[in-house]
Amino acid sequence: WPFRGAVILTERHHELRRDAQGRLHGEQSAAVRYPDGWSLYAWHGVRVAETVILHPGTISVAQIQAEANVELRRVLLERYGFERYLSDSGALPIHANARGTLYRQELSGDEPLVMVRVTNSTPEPDGHRKDYTLRVPPTITTVDEALGWGFNLPARKYQPVIET
What's the average model confidence in pLDDT over 130-135? 89
pLDDT at 164: 61
Which residues, 6 or more positions from 106, have their beta carbon under 8 angstroms from its beta carbon? 112, 113
In the prediction, which pLDDT does 56 show?
A: 96
Residue-level pLDDT at 83:
87
Distance of CA 54 to the CA centre of its chain: 17
* Predicted TM-score of the model (pTM): 0.79
Q: How far apart, in Å, are the Cα atoms of 121 and each of 49, 64, 132? A: 39, 32, 11
